[in-house]
Chain A
Amino acid sequence: MILVARRDTFPFVITLLALGFLGLFLLYPLFHVFAASFLDRTGTSLTLGNYARVLSSSFYLGSLYNTLIVGVLATLITIAIGVPLAFCLARLPIPAKAALLALAALPLVLPSFVAAYALVLLLGRAGVVTQWLREVGVPFTSIYGLTGVTVVFALTLFPFVVFPTLAAFKAVDISVEEAGQNLGASRLRTFRTVTLPIVMPAVLAGGLLVFIEAIESFGVPFVLAEDKPILAVEVYKLFVGELGGNPASAGVLGALLVACTAAALLVQRYYLGRRRFSTSARRTPPELVVAPWLRRLATTYCWGVVLVALVPFFAVIVISFLEFRGPVLHANFSLDNFRELLNQSSRPLVNTLTLSSAAALLAAAIGVPIGYAVTRFRSRISGLLDVVAMTPFAVAGTVLAIGLVISFNSGWLVLTGGWLILVLAWSVRKIPFNVRAASAILHQIDPSLEEASVNLGVSPLVTFLRLTLPLMMGGVIGGMVLTWVTVASELSSTVVLYSGPWATMTVVMFQALESTGAGIASAAATVLIVVTVLPIAFVYRLLRRYELAMM
C-alpha cells in the first residue's frame, strides 16, 4: 500500500491550531455562559427556570425591548444618513473629497463611549449647552435615555453604512445605467430601478454592522441610558452585582444578546445569499454634472454630517483643557485634569500601550493564518473554521468576558486576575476583523504565485512565509494598527476582566464616570483619542488601501 502524503498538511495544521485556540478561548467560555443560564441554583440539574424568571420580569423584558429599539433606530438613521452621503461622494463633485473620506472614517476607530461622554458634557444635566439653553430660556432638560444613546450611535456608526455603499456605487457599471436611460427611463427612475437595487446588498451589509455594534455596545448605554435598562449593561450589572453576582440571570441575558446578533447575521446571510450581483464595472461612473445650488447643497450635507460626527471628540479635547471645580466647568485653560490623571498613576497608560500591542500581535498571528487557510484551501473543516472565526463578531464583549471569567476562574488553567486574560479577550474579539482583512488582501494576490512557488519545489509552509506573507505585509500591518487602536479603547470586556494593577485607560475613565470625576474622565478621553488618532495618521496611506477590509 502506498502511503499517500497529505498535500494540504500545512492548512490542515493551521486549521487545527486555530480551532483549538478558538475552542478554548471562545467556544468553551460561551458554553459556560449558556450552561449557567440553564443550571438551577444548586448548579447540578438543568432547568428553564432562569429563563422563565428573567422573561417574566418587566424590567429585563424592557431591557430586551430597549436594546432592539435602539438597534433598529440606529440602523435606520445611519442608513438614512449614510446612503445619500455615499451617493454624493461617489457621483458628485464634492471639494476635498480625500480629506472628507479620511475624516468620515474616524468615528469608526474613535471610542464611541467617549462621544457619549462628550454628549453628557455638552447636553447632560450640568452640560455646557444645556446651561446655555436654560439661560436663553429653552426648556431643555437633558439628553439622557434612549434618545441620547441613539444619537451617539447615529453619529459614530454611520461610516459603517457609508463605506460599503460608496464602494458599491462606484462599482456600478455605468453602462447599466446608460442602458436604463437608453430604454427610456428617466434619470430618477433609472436610479430607483437599476442603481439602488444593485447597491442594496452593500447598504444592508453596512446596516447589519450598525445593528450589531449598537446592541453589543456597553459603554454608550452605560454612560447615557441612565434609568433605561439595556441588555449589555444589565448583563454586566447582574454579573458583577454588589450582592455577589448572579451568573444564571447574567447567562440568560447574555444568551438573549447573542441570540439577537446571531439572528441578525442569519437574516442578512439569507437575504444576501439570494441577491448577489456581480458588479464588474469596466468603467467607474463619472461624476454627474449638476446645478451649482445642488452641488452646494451636497457639499454642505457631506461636510456637515462628517464634521458634526466629530464635534463630540473636539469638544472633549477642548473641555479636558479647561478647569473643573467639582463637576462645574470654568472657561479657564488648565492642565490640572491631566496632572490629576497622571498623579493617580501612569500605570494604566502603560498597560493600555503594552497590552494593546500584545493583543494586536496575537490577533494577527492567529487571524492571518486563519484568513489564509479559509481563503486558499476550501474544505469542509476550513468552512467550519470560517464560521467559528466569525463567531466573536456576534458575541458582545461583556458576554465573552463573563464566559472567560467563569471558565478560567479556577481549575487547571487560572487566568483571572492577570493581564493575559485581557489580551486573550481582546484578540479573540478582533480575530474576525483580522481574518477578513487577511482574506481581503489575499483576494488581490493571484493564487498562481503560490502555485508557482510550490511548483518550483518550495513547500507550502515556506511559500507562505517567504512569498505570501511579505506580499500581504502592507495589509497585515494595517490590520494590526486598526486592531491596536480599537482594543486600546475597548471597554465592554475590559471592565469585566481587569483587576488591580492591570487597569487600562478605559477603566480609569470608566471609574471616573462612576464617581463624578469629570475632569479626569475628560483627560482620559483625550488621551484615548490621541492614542487612537496618532497611529492611524502614521499609517494612513497604508490603511487607505484596506479601508474597505474593515467591513
Chain B
Amino acid sequence: MAGITIEGVARTFGQVRAIDEVSLAIRDGEFFTLLGPSGCGKTTLLRMVAGFCDLERGRILFGERRIDALPPHRRSAGMVFQNYAIFPNFTVGGNVAYGLNARNVAAADIERRVAQTLKLVHLDGYEERWPHQLSGGQLQRVAIARALVIEPEVLLLDEPLSNLDAKLRVEMRAEIRQLQQQLKITAIYVTHDQEEALAISDRIAVMQNGRLEQVGAPEAIYRTPATAFVAEFMGTTNILTGTVAGREGELIRIRVGGQQFSARNADAPPGSVVTFSLRPEMLRLLAGDRAPPGWTTMTASVARVEFLGVLTRLHLRLADGALLHAVSLDLLPEGVANGAPVTLAYDPARVTVLRRP
C-alpha cells in the first residue's frame, strides 16, 4: 500500500492538451475520485497511472518509488475496467488466478487466494462458472476480485459502474467503498457521475479540459465550489454575476440587475465584479414565518412549478424579470402556484463567490 504522487504531468494528442500540468498527492489508503465530463482527461490520467498512456512531462510515484517509466505489467496497479474486460476464454477462477499464474505463485496458494478473494466479493463457489453465465453485477465483482487478488499497491477503477442499472449501481458503489476501507488500499476512481463521487470519495478532483478545477472533500466541493464549472457540474445551481455595491463587516452586497444579494466574503472590494453560486435548496420559502436571524430576504413571483417526486422545483421571477431556481423538499406552502407572490430567505454564508475563470 502506498500513496500516489503525480507531479507536473502533461500529455498532448495532436492539438488537444489531454492532460495539462496536473499535480496531485493522493494519501495512503485514500479513496480518491477523478470527476468530470467526458473528454476532460480523467480516464487519460488514470491510464497514465496504470501505464497505458505515456507521459510527455512530469512523474508519477507510488510511495517513494517512481513508476512512470515502468512498463504497465510491472507497476502493481490493479485496474477495474469500464466494461469489466473479463477474459471470455477463462472461467471465473481462471480469470482471478490469471495474475497469480503470471507471478509463479504455487498452485495451492493460488487456489486458496482465489477462493479467499471470491469470498471477499461475495462470489464464493463461482470458480467453475464461465463469464457468459454471469450477470453484469457478478462480472463486475469478478473484475474487482481479479484486480485485488494480486495485492496491488493501488487500485484503479475506470467508471466501473457505468454499465450497471441504476439500483445495482447504488448497491455496488457502497460495496466498493466498504471493500476499500476494509483493505485500506489506495484507490483512484474515475466517474462522470457527481452523486456517485460525493457518495463514496474521501476526496474528489473535478477535472475540465485536462486541468484540475478543484480538489477537496465531497462537502467542500459541493458547498464551496471554486469555479462556476464546478458549481454547475456538482448539481443545479443559480450562477449570477454582479457588482459589489458595499461591505458590512464580513458581508458584501452585490447588485445584480435590479436586485440586491448578499454574501459572506472577505476579499472582494466594492466596485469589483463578482460571480457567485446560490444553490436552489438554500432558498427557503417563507410562509408567514420569519426568516432566521442574519438571513437575507427577497420577494419574487412563481413562474413555473415542476413536481419531481422527492422534491419540487420552482422557477421564480424576480422583480427585475430575472429567473431563479429554488427547490423544496416538503410539500409547498398553501397558495404557492403559478403567478403567486412569494418571500424567499437565504443564509448569506451559504452563497459562494466564485473564482473568475
Residues of chain A having any CB pair with chain B under 8 Å: 2-5, 7, 446, 448-449, 451-460, 462-463, 467, 470-471
A448-B83, A451-B52, A459-B71 are known; give 8 further A-B pairs, CB within 8 A: A7-B72, A446-B85, A452-B85, A452-B87, A454-B72, A455-B79, A456-B78, A471-B88
A2-B79 in contact (CB<8A)? no
Given A455-B79, A456-B98, A456-B99: A448 in contact with B85 (beta carbons within 8 A): yes
Centre residue among A5, A454, A456 by max chain B CB count within 10 A: A456
Q: Are A455 and B77 in contact (CB under 8 A)?
A: yes
Task: Give CA–CA (A2, B75) in the complex, Å.
Answer: 16
Q: Mark B33-71, 1 if CB is under 8 A from A, else 0.
A: 000000000000000001110100000000000100111
Distance, CA A448 to CA B146, complexed state (A)? 14
B98: contacting residue among A2, A446, A458, CB under 8 A: A458
List residues of chain B with CB within 8 A of the CB of A459: 71, 73
**Which residues of B are found within 8 Å of A457, using beta-carbon distances?**
73-74, 76, 99, 102-103, 150
26 CB contacts below 8 A, A to B, read A4-B69, A5-B69, A7-B54, A446-B83, A448-B81, A448-B82, A448-B85, A451-B79, A451-B85, A452-B79, A452-B81, A452-B85, A452-B143, A453-B87, A454-B72, A455-B51, A455-B73, A455-B147, A456-B147, A457-B73, A457-B74, A457-B76, A457-B150, A459-B73, A462-B102, A470-B89
**Are B73 and A458 in contact (CB-based, < 8 A)?**
yes
Asked if A449 contacts B85 (CB within 8 A), the reply is: yes
- Inter-chain CA distance A138–B43, complex, in Å, is 75
Task: Give the distance to chain A from B87, nearest Cβ to Cβ, in Å.
Answer: 6
Q: State which of B71, B87, B147 has its C-beta within 8 Å of the C-beta of A449.
A: B87
Given contact pairs A7-B71, A451-B52, A458 touches B87 in the complex (Cβ within 8 A)? no
Q: How many residues of B contact A (CB 8 A)?
A: 31
CA distance A426 to B72 in the complex (A): 39
Chain A residues near B87 (CB, 8 Å)?
Answer: 449, 452-453, 467
Closest to A457 in B: B102
A449 to B81, CA, bound (A): 9
**Would A2 and B69 be within 8 Å (CB), given that A448-B85, A452-B87, A471-B89 are in contact?**
yes
**Closest beta carbon of chain A to B49's beta carbon, Å:** 11
Chain B residues in 8 Å Cβ range of A471: 88-89
Chain A: minimal CB distance from B88 (Å): 7
CA gap between A452 and B102 in the complex, in Å = 13
CA distance A451 to B54 in the complex (A): 14
Given A4-B69, A5-B71, A7-B51, A458-B99 contact (CB < 8 Å): yes
Bound: A396/B143 CA distance, A = 50
Complex: how many Å from CA A7 to CA B71? 5
Top 6 nearest A-B pairs (CB, nearest first) are A456-B99, A452-B85, A448-B85, A458-B102, A455-B79, A457-B102
Enumerate chain B residues within 8 angstroms of A448, measured Cβ to Cβ: 81-83, 85
Which chain B residues numbered 17 to 43 have a C-beta less than 8 Å away from chain A? none
Among B51, B52, B74, B83, find the residue whose CB has the most chain A CB atoms closer than 10 A.
B52
- For the complex, give the distance between the alpha carbons of A470 and B83 in Å: 20
Inter-chain contacts of B79 with A (CB < 8 A)? 451-452, 455
Q: Report B299 CB to chain A, min CB distance, Å.
A: 49
Interface majority SS on B: helix, strand, loop or mixed?
Answer: loop
Query: Among the interface residues B73, B99, B147, which one has the most CB atoms of the partner chain A within 10 A?
Result: B73
Tell me how far the C-beta of B148 lies from the nearest C-beta in chain A, rounded to whole angstroms. Answer: 11
Residues on the A chain within 8 Å of B81, using CB: 448, 451-452
CA of A451 to CA of B52, assembled, Å: 8
Complex: chain B residue closest to A471, CB-CB: B89
Complexed CA–CA distance, A2 and B59 (Å): 12
* Complex Cα gap A452–B77 (Å): 11
Chain A's closest residue to B47 (CB) is A451
Tell me the bound Cα distance from A303 to B6 in angstroms: 66
Residues of chain B lying within 8 A (CB to CB) of residue A5:
69-71
Query: What is the chain B residue whose CB lies nearest that of A451?
Result: B52
Q: Write out the residue numbers on chain A whose beta carbons fall within 8 Å of the beta carbon of B70.
A: 5
Residues of B280-328 contacting chain A, CB below 8 A: none
CA distance A459 to B71 in the complex (A): 9
Contacts of B77 in A (CB 8 A): 455
Residues of A within 8 A of B50 (CB): 451, 455
Report A-chain residues with C-beta under 8 Å of the C-beta of B150: 456-457
Q: Nearest chain A CB to B83's CB is how many angstroms away?
A: 6
A462 and B76 CA atoms in complex are apart in Å by: 17
Query: Given A7-B71, A448-B85, is A455 in contact with B98 using a C-beta cutoff of 8 Å?
Result: no
Whole-angstrom distance between the Cβ of A33 and the nearest chain B Cβ: 39
The residue in B66, B85, B89 that gathers the most chain A C-beta atoms within 10 A of its C-beta is B85
Cα separation A451 to B51 with both chains bound (whole Å): 10
- A-contacting residues, B109-130, CB 8 Å: none
Residues of A within 8 A of B71 (CB): 5, 7, 454, 459-460
Which residues of chain B are near A449, meaning CB under 8 Å? 85, 87
Contacts of A470 in B (CB 8 A): 89
With beta carbons under 8 angstroms apart, the residue of A7, A446, A455, A460 that contacts B78 is: A455
Contact across chains for B85 and A454 when beta carbons are under 8 A apart: no
> In the complex, what's the smallest C-beta–C-beta distance from A445 to chain B, in angstroms?
9
- Which residues of chain A come closer than 8 Å to B83, judged between CB atoms? 446, 448
**Complex formed: what's the CA distance from A455 to B158 in Å?**
13
Considering the chains assembled together, what is the distance between the CA atoms of A460 and B74 in angstroms? 11
Q: Give Cα A470 to B150, complex, Å.
A: 24
Complex Cα–Cα for A453 and B52 (A): 12
B62 to chain A, nearest CB (A): 14
Nearest-CB distance from B72 to chain A (Å)?
5
Complex Cα distance A15/B98, Å?
28
Of the candidates B71, B82, B83, B89, the one having the most CB atoms from chain A within 10 angstroms of its own CB is B71
A343 to chain B, nearest CB (A): 50
- Chain A residues with Cβ below 8 Å from B89 are 467, 470-471
Residue of A nearest to B96 (CB): A456
Cβ of B181 to closest chain A Cβ, rounded Å = 23
Contact partners of B103 in chain A: CB under 8 A: 457
Write the nearest CB–CB distance from B12 to chain A, whole angstroms: 16
CA–CA, A448 and B46, complex, Å? 14
- Interfacial chain A residues near B54, Cβ < 8 Å: 7
Residues of B within 8 A of A7 (CB): 51, 54, 71-72
Shortest distance from the beta carbon of A474 to any chain B beta carbon, whole Å: 11
A13 to B292, CA, bound (A): 73
Task: State the CA gap A153–B145 with chains docked (Å).
Answer: 58
- Nearest Cβ distance between residue A281 and chain B, in whole angstroms? 21
Chain B: CB-nearest residue to A463: B73
A380 to B187, CA, bound (A): 35
Bound together, the chains give a CA A452 to CA B78 distance in angstroms of 9
How far is the CB of B67 from the nearest CB of chain A, in Å? 11
Residue of B with least CB distance to A9: B71
Least Cβ–Cβ distance between B283 and chain A, in angstroms: 42
A280 to chain B, nearest CB (A): 17
Q: Which residues of A contact B102 (CB under 8 A)?
A: 456-458, 462
A293 to chain B, nearest CB (A): 46
Query: Who on chain A is nearest to B75 by CB?
Result: A455
CA distance A454 to B77 in the complex (A): 10
User: From B90, which residue of chain A is reached at the shortest CB distance?
Assistant: A467
Evaluate contact between B72 and A453: CB separation under 8 angstroms: no
* A446: B residues at CB distance < 8 A: 83, 85
Chain A contacts for B72, CB-based, 8 A: 7, 451, 454-455
